[in-house]
Amino acid sequence: MDIALLTSNDFDTLINNVFTIRISDEVQLDAELIEVTKLNNYSPLERNPFSIVFRTDQKNEYYEQGIFTIVHPEKGDLQFFLTPLGFDSVGMKYEAVFS
């Protein structure tokens, strides 16, 4: 699937679904999609910008921002640039922004 064609609607129905973040061949994390946020559109592009937030069960460690493969049974393998947002009471949150 071409990520340039993704919209927030593609993820709205997947909130609370578990994805896999493939950090490397050896490291894969289960990550729950916890948030989809529509962002203000200041771009002439057709797609409205949005962000999605995943949460892992990591308590003390996190991975630096970078491009990672996100795997979901329906959406397949997608490559997103993820940024760590910080810990909450459950685990570490990572965000992908689509503009």
- pLDDT higher than 70, residue 71: yes
Q: Higher pLDDT residue, 1 or 56?
A: 56
- If you average pLDDT over residues 73-98, what whole number do you get? 95
User: Who's near 54: CB < 8 A, 6+ residues apart?
Assistant: 19, 21, 31, 32, 33, 34, 70, 82, 93, 94, 95, 96
Write the pLDDT tens digit of every residue in 11-70: 999 999 999 999 999 999 999 999 999 998 776 667 789 999 999 999 999 999 999 999
What pLDDT score does 88 carry? 96
pTM given for the model: 0.92
